[in-house]
Amino acid sequence: MDRVQLEDLLASVVRSGGTSLHIQPYGVPFVRVGDSIIECEVEAVTAQVIADLMRDFLFEDHRNALQAGEDVEILYTTAAGERFRATVMRQCRGLGAVFRRLPTQVPSFEELGLPPGLSSLTGFQRGLVVLTGFVGSGKSTTLAALVQRMNEEGAFHIATIEQPIEFVHRSEKCLIHQREVGMHVQSIARGVRDAYRQGAEVIVVDGLEDYDALQEAFRAVERGCFVFATMSSSNVVGAITDLARIAPADDRKAVLARLACLLRGVAAQSLINRLHGHTRIPVFEIMIRTEAIANAIRTGDFGVIPELIARGRGLGMQTNDQALRALLSHNVIAPEVAAYHAVDRDAVVPCHH
């Protein structure tokens, strides 16, 4: 496989309405379309061919990271202008890669099917808000739409620290500057620190993954900033738990106290198939801070948070199952899809067996 063949495969992803291309050593490449994985009509590729191909567009830092056992993410733009986020990783038989297709323009809230309650999370003047979801859940696109919404409606200095930059925002009502980790700044923590020292009022963090970054996010909020960060946890409680676990054991109580005070909300996103067509729709669990939720975080009693979310519909909150029931009632998703993604299947689809 050479660069021309890679371009052909990526073009086939676009033509088929697919979302990603998967390349593995000694196997045939696959394209994901909806929830289906489809074999490409090409020969299997060897580990050496993949290694040679990756060498063409990986920098030395990327190669060193792979050698150390880390995954590498880069932005790949085809000759036709289609953009993909490529994740390169080591496997038992050599290098593999996943190319996830990115929209060429920032989609609107309406185009993405985002719930109204989500936009309320951008309405805080200060505080920490987390958007979480597994890789491939669409959170990067949602984050870009949220930044664009602020860009159209506010008048702020917005700084983003991303890994990598997926959408380039033009400054409209807001002043926006974007930095990529490894290219423009050494780390997330350093990028956040630079941002609040340079007067940013809104700081967007792509991947709140280590204690130094969390500490800098706290300091930014305490200085009056609004910090919007992404994580890779599957749900709201998982995100809060992971934030607590980032801290060393001796610091955990202090971190929970700061989270209880500074965290304004968490949204957990997943993507599921629509009833008609091959497109998918985002499903959100949304938590907005209340005194009861803050107390649960402070004391580490995370188990009560789902019930507090369920009772907070009037404040814009919703559980995953409440979101699924709403989509099911509007005939947007199939009962079996709702049941598969539900926490309590009988509550979402009572007659499902």
- pLDDT tens profile 88-140: 998 888 899 999 998 778 888 888 888 888 888 888 889 999 999 998 898 98
CA distances from 193 to 125, 169, 174, 235 (A): 18, 21, 20, 28
**Tens-digit pLDDT profile for residues 299-321:** 999 999 999 999 999 999 999 99
Contacts of 93 (CB under 8 A, 6+ apart): 24, 25, 26, 47
Cα separation, 238 vs 266, in Å, equals 10
β-bridge partners, 104: none
- What's residue 312's pLDDT? 95
Amino acid at 176: I
Contacts of 89 (CB under 8 A, 6+ apart): 66, 71, 72, 95, 96, 97
Q: Where in the chain is the domain with CATH 3.40.50.300?
A: 109-318
Fold category of 109-318 in CATH? Rossmann fold (3.40.50)
Q: Where in the chain is the domain with CATH 3.30.450.90?
A: 3-102
Does position 353 have pLDDT exceeding 70, yes or no? no
**Half-sphere exposure of residue 132, counting CA atoms within 13 Å on the CB side?**
26
- What's residue 211's pLDDT? 97
- What's residue 145's pLDDT? 93
**Tens-digit pLDDT profile for residues 127-173:** 999 999 998 898 989 999 999 999 998 899 999 999 888 888 999 99
Contact 259, 244 (CB under 8 A): yes
Report the share of the chain in percent with pLDDT over 90: 65
Fold category of 3-102 in CATH? Beta-Lactamase (3.30.450)
Does position 344 have pLDDT exceeding 90, yes or no? yes
DSSP-assigned letter for residue 193: H
β-bridge partners, 280: 273
- What's residue 337's pLDDT? 93
- What's residue 163's pLDDT? 86
